[in-house]
Structure 1
Amino acid sequence: MATPFQLTVITPEKTFFDGETTQIIVRTTEGDIGILANHTSLVASLPSGPLKVMQASGEYRLAAVSAGLIKVGGNKVNIFADAVEWADEIDIEWAKRSEENAKQRLAAKNSERDLDLAELKLKRALNRINVHNTLMK
């Protein structure tokens, strides 16, 4: 049996997850990484991407993470993210509307700041759609 470790996922609004798991897979800016108990210490940036959390049943639960940071050490993993949603809780219609809105804002070519925000919103919407679609396969 795999050794459990503590996983805490925090957003500005709430503690999204706080419990034990035996494995996670998360996307960093350097690529996807798997984390097991006693993983070497690590701090890495997280772009918008999927997070897979191993449940007690032996199956993964999938979530969509918006940009953030992961800190691993002392048999604990902390993820600090702008937003996180379980794949089965994503409102896919809202995500598609967000994608279209972001594309319209990009096409408008307003200020540099507006373009940067629209790009981030597009990445977040596409991540939510991809994670939701992965769950539905």
Structure 2
Amino acid sequence: MATEFNFELVSPERLLVSGSVSEVVIPATEGEMTVMANHAPTMTTIKPGVVTVKFADGRKDRFVVFGGFADIIPTGCTLLAESAVHVDDFNVDQITRRVEAARTELAQATTDEHKFGIESYLAELTTLRGIVVPA
């Protein structure tokens, strides 16, 4: 039974990861999800959060993502991120700009569904800030 699979993390700017991994933890919309070899085929949306990658050689790496979706098959996983950056390259200004834009959008929202979606997004950004920015 294979214990490794191919993982790709792609943002509009560049390919951040492409290689053999033993596990990936992704911030799926319905909750954190661990992907391993032979995972059932799944497609899920991604919320703002941290992707943790455990490579086949044992080293680990983390990336901050802002939405997107993941396509998972037994032999691989591709995460297409709206935006992604290595956690070491992350800047708190990225969250601050997104929070400000979301608050502006919230002030202009006309339906309850739209307001709820923006409020949920703001909560996710607040949680992400607590995870990647030291207090």
Tell me which interval the TM-score lies in, with the shorter structure as reference length. 0.7 to 0.9
Contact 2:3–2:37 (CA under 8 A) maintained in structure 1: yes
Moved beyond 4 Å, runs of 4+: 115-125
Aligned to 2:39: 39
Q: Distance in 2 between matches of 1:7 and 1:49?
A: 17
Q: Distance in 1 between matches of 2:58 and 2:79?
A: 21
Contact 2:23–2:37 (CA under 8 A) maintained in structure 1: yes
Aligned length: 132
Contact 1:102–1:122 (CA under 8 A) maintained in structure 2: no
Deviations, residues 28-65 of structure 1 (Å, cap 9, x unaligned)? 12211111111111111111122110034534311111
Pairwise CA distance, 1:130? 3.4
SS in 2 for 1:88: helix
- 1:90 paired with 2:90, answer yes
Instruction: Identify which range, 57-66 or 15-24, moves more after superposition.
Output: 57-66
Q: Percent identity?
A: 18
Aligned to 1:21: 21
SS in 1 for 2:108: coil
Q: Distance in 2 between matches of 1:34 and 1:57?
A: 18
TM-score if structure 2 supplies the norm length? 0.74
Contact 1:63–1:131 (CA under 8 A) maintained in structure 2: no
Q: Distance in 2 between matches of 1:100 and 1:106?
A: 10
- Tell me how large the CA RMSD over aligned residues is: 3.3
Q: Distance in 2 between matches of 1:103 and 1:64?
A: 18
Equivalent runs, 1:1-137 vs 2, <5 Å: 3-56=3-56, 58-92=58-92, 94-95=93-94, 97-98=96-97, 101-102=100-101, 105=104, 109-110=107-108, 112=110, 122=122, 125-126=125-126, 129-133=129-133
